[in-house]
């Protein structure tokens, strides 16, 4: 009999702390060493759906949505579907009053089916297909354009009153989709929109990067964008600063500072301040999700997990977002730093028991966004929503027959 079995309270104390910055809002440890999310034992989900399996905490998503809406105001927050938006999760977004930034006709259809209003939708991204563009124009979604020539294409297919936002890049951004602020290309794009009898300039759209936790990056872009607006002598009602906010950045403080900068800068130019909008993805969904894997091999300071991970998880954009915890059994072994690998990638370096072995279950935190990005040879894992002690399948596991279907 181990010491933790003699003293159960000691076993509880050996469990890793669930950092609220990384783990879902409702994540809790239970006996014997199991983890529950939304009141549902995670081991039970793994048994029912196999591994790997994604678990999304509905309560956490609603909490983050409410936080953003309270900070920026109704109508000022869109969820970026790029992070991976299933119809079930899109219904949560719709219920909380958020809009959606979509990249394709399929994502627009998902958002509409979930109940998100067309006036709260925008089609963005370079290389829009004709089908994507027609889907946006037919439902009344706004379209983000990146040049004067794209404005002409949209105008040729639009009815009068079609809303467009111009994608702009601040001076610090070297490359990317859109036009550089204060450039001749930016002025030409605005002129094309304002001359058109079919297009309405609804705002400017910016993207500054990923996981930005320095307010100065946003402040600089906001000042530059408002200076550009002042040159135009036309109304630009909205400045959308995109996503990229670090998930642990205090949203209320962030929004208040942005509004203050917009107000002061606009007053300096003698213009009305535009509304500041945002379109986060990972900041809304990332913390809400965990992925449960099974250990397939354990070596000296390294464990290998089954399945694969999206390319973004081991990359610099996600560095430090993910940690891992042993679930399903209480271990008396002392903790040690263990490298967690999945596929060809290192996804975390975490404090785990020294007796990790093949067959153990591991929960990987912070995977609520980009969870659908999987290689075809692996197949997409199931996605399961949990809330109030109930589990619901949002996406069934992709089978080999489905992958090979033609």
pLDDT value for 76: 97
Last residue of a domain, one of 284, 314, 338: 284
Predicted confidence at residue 8, as pLDDT, reads 46
Tell me which residue of 13, 18, 3, 4 sits closest to 325, measured CA to CA: 18
**Mean pLDDT of all residues in 111-117:** 96
Give the three-state DSSP class for 382: strand
Q: Which of 219, 254, 284 lies at the terminal end of a domain, its last residue? A: 284
- Section 121-141 average pLDDT: 95
Q: Has residue 287 got a pLDDT over 90? A: yes
| Average pLDDT score over residue span 268-278 | 95
Q: How confident is the model at residue 64 (pLDDT cuts 50, 70, 90)?
A: very high
For residues 10-29, average pLDDT: 81
DSSP output for 358-406: TT-EEEEES-SSSTT---TTT-PPEEEEEETTEEEEEEPPPPHHHHH--
For residue 391, give the nearest of 26, 45, 51 by alpha carbon.
45
Share of the chain above pLDDT 70, in %: 88
Straight-line distance from the first to the last Cα atom of the chain, in angstroms, rounded to the nearest whole number: 56
84 and 37 co-located in one domain:
no
Per-residue pLDDT for 4 more than 50? no
- What value does the mean pLDDT take over residues 16-25? 90
Q: What is the pTM of this model?
A: 0.90
Q: How many domains does the chain have?
A: 2
Lowest mean pLDDT segment, chosen from 136-145, 305-314, 346-355, 390-399: 305-314
Average pLDDT, the chain: 88
pLDDT tens string 302-312 = 999 998 776 55
- pLDDT, residue 141, reads 98
Full domain range(s) for residue 352:
3-57+286-405
Let me know whether 274 and 169 are in one domain: yes
Q: What are phi and psi of 268, to 5 degrees?
A: -65, -30
Q: How large a percentage of the chain has pLDDT more than 90?
A: 68
At 248 the three-state DSSP class reads coil
Gap between the Cα atoms of 221 and 129, Å rounded: 29
Residue at a domain's end among 252, 267, 284: 284
Give the position of tokens 């933790």. Answer: 4
Task: Evaluate if residue 223 carries a pLDDT over 80.
Answer: yes
Helix, coil or strand: residue 19: coil
Residues 236, 237, 241, 243, CA torsion sign: negative
**Is residue 20 domain-shared with residue 80, that is, in the same domain?**
no
169 CB contacts (<8 Å, ≥6 apart)? 176, 178, 179, 180, 181, 206, 207
Pair (238, 102) in one structural domain: yes
């Amino acid at each position: 009999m181990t010491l933790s079995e003699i003293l159960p309270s000691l076993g509880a104390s050996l469990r890793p702390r669930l950092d609220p910055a990384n783990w879902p809002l409702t994540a809790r440890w239970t006996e014997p060493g199991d983890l529950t999310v939304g009141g549902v034992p995670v081991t039970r989900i793994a048994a029912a759906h196999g591994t790997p399996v994604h678990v999304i905490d509905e309560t956490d998503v609603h909490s983050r949505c409410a936080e953003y809406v309270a900070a920026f105001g109704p109508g000022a927050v869109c969820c970026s579907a790029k992070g991976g938006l299933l119809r079930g999760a899109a219904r949560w977004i719709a219920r909380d009053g958020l809009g959606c930034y979509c990249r394709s006709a399929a994502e627009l259809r998902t958002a509409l089916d979930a109940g998100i209003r067309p006036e709260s939708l925008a089609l963005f991204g370079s290389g829009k297909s004709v089908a994507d563009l027609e889907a946006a124009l037919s439902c009344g979604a706004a379209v983000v354009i990146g040049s004067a020539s794209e404005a002409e294409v949209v105008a040729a297919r639009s009815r009068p009153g079609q809303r467009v936002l111009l994608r702009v890049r601040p001076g610090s951004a070297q490359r990317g989709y859109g036009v550089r602020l204060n450039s001749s290309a930016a002025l030409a794009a605005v002129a094309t929109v304002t001359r058109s009898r079919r297009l309405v300039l609804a705002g400017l759209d910016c993207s500054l990067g990923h996981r930005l936790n320095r307010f100065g990056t946003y402040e600089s872009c906001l000042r530059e964008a408002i200076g550009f607006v002042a040159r135009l002598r036309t109304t630009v009602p909205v400045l959308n600063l995109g996503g990229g906010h670090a998930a642990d950045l205090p949203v209320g403080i962030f929004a208040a500072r942005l509004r203050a900068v917009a107000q002061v800068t606009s007053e300096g130019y003698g213009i009305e301040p535009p509304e500041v909008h945002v379109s986060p993805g990972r900041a809304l969904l990332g913390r809400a999700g965990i992925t449960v894997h099974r250990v397939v091999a354990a070596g000296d300071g390294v464990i290998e997990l089954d399945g694969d991970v999206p390319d973004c998880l081991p990359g610099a954009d996600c560095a430090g977002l993910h940690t891992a915890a042993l679930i399903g059994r209480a271990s008396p072994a002392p903790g040690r730093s263990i490298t967690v690998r999945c596929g060809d990638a290192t996804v975390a370096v975490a404090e785990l028991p020294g007796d990790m072995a093949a067959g153990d279950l591991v929960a990987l935190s912070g995977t609520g966004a980009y969870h659908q990005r999987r290689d075809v040879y692996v197949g997409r894992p199931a996605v399961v929503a949990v809330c109030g002690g109930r589990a619901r399948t949002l996406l069934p596991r992709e089978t080999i027959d489905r992958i090979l279907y033609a």
